[in-house]
Every structure is written in structure tokens, then in C-alpha cells.
Amino acid sequence: MEEFQQVKVVSFDFGGTLAYETTDNSIVFQQILQKLGYKIEVDNIKEAMKIVRGWWKREKGERVWNEDAMKEFHERVMSKLGIPNPEKLAEETSKILPQKLDFKAYDDAKQTLKNLKRTGYSLIIISNVSSRRNLETYMEKAGLNGYFNALFASGSMGVEKPNPQIFHRAAKEMNVPCQAMVHIGDSYEIDYLGAENAGMMGVLIDRKGNYRDKECRKISSLTQLLKLLTK
């Protein structure tokens, strides 16, 4: 397609686009607490997390999700559960949790990345994640290290999608204009519109047909991406 002829850099979201979590956060959190000596029912943890997510939803407009925010989230969850010394424990759990979460790459991810690199595209990730360090951990678990030229994690950069700044800073670091980048993600508002509003081309991956009503560049599998870019 003529609109993609100038594309040199292909950007991906991570979670929900290239890989997915295999275990619920509340279960992993329960396992960590148990090792620290606190036996808590998982339903109680889920309820506490639900309440604290309400707090974060109110905070989100003013703050970026980063490692400090994760630590505060954990502290508030443990306070809701009645666990003593939540601030001290949150230091531990916020470091342990990213190591215990498990991610699996979607079946269409690795071959697509190989084909894109073979075709000559530079590949990057732009992800709303707590830190670059944690993103690297998640990618290693999914077996996706080694494919990407650069990683952009919102928690380390201090700005999140859909803010155009994160896309602009990625383009600047890759030394290309925004028009030479395409971004693929699973959120219409955060990924597709975020990229489009930043002056890039967006592609929405809609694996489950959640966005049937949206008229936009759309694929249902990453295997369709190379054909779309080179058509």
C-alpha cells in the first residue's frame, strides 16, 4: 500500500499484542505473600486489588504507572488485607512480582518479527509498563528478546500512551520522522489513536473482534502485518 512505502520502523505494544500473562496477578501475589509468611485467600486479594484499582484510576490522570506507583499499589493492597508493616513488605513484593509473573508470546508473534527483520524493518516496543527493567524481564519470559532495536517503557520515560510525546521521543531516538513509523497495538484509544495523533500510522490488532465498529487499519493476526506493509 502506497501509504506504507516510507515506513522504516515498526513499533509494537507488548501486552495483548505480542504476548499475554498466563497467571492472574492476584494468584501470583498470593504465592508471594505465602512465602513471606502470610496466608491470605485469593478472593480476599482480588477484592483488595479491585478497591485499590479504583484509587489508581483516580490517580492516573496525574501520574504515570512506574515502579514507585507499583510499590504504593502493593502497600495499599496489603493495608486493605490488614497485613502489618505494609510499606516495608511492599518494597519486597514490588521487586518480586515482576520476576514471578509469566508471559507467553502469541503464536503469530515470533515468525512475524523474524519476517519483518528479514525484510529490513527496524523493530521497537512502545509499552505502558512500569519500567524498562520490568519490560525486559517480561520479554525474556515470553522468549522475545533479541528481535528489537530499542525499547520504550512509559514508567522509565515518565509519559504514557496515548500521549504523543512518547511516540515522538521514540521517533527521535530512532532518527526517523513520525511518518516513517507504524505502531501496532490492541487498544483503539491508546495504541491506534495515540499513534495517529502523534503523526504516525496506527494499526489495530483485534484478535477477538472487540472493535468491529471501528473503521481503521485493522488486522486480526500479526501474520497479516507484513502483507499489509508491503502490499
Query: What pLDDT digit, counting tens, does each position of 107-160 carry?
Result: 999 999 999 999 999 999 999 999 999 999 999 999 999 999 999 999 999 999
Q: What residue spans define the domains of the chain?
A: 2-21+103-230, 25-100
Query: What pLDDT digit, counting tens, does each position of 71-81 carry?
Result: 999 999 999 99
- The domain covering 2-21+103-230 belongs, at the CATH homologous superfamily level, to HAD superfamily/HAD-like (3.40.50.1000)
The residues near 84 (Cβ < 8 Å, ≥ 6 apart) are none
Beta strand pairing call for 103-105 and 19-21: antiparallel
Tell me if 63 sits within 8 A of 69, measured CB to CB. Answer: yes
- Say what the pTM is: 0.94
DSSP letters along 70-91, please?
HHHHHHHHHHHTT-SSHHHHHH
CB count, 10 Å around CB of 224? 15
CB count, 10 Å around CB of 196? 17
Question: What integer best gives the mean pLDDT of the chain?
Answer: 96
Query: What pLDDT digit, counting tens, does each position of 43-57 carry?
Result: 999 999 999 999 999
Give the single-character DSSP code of 178: G
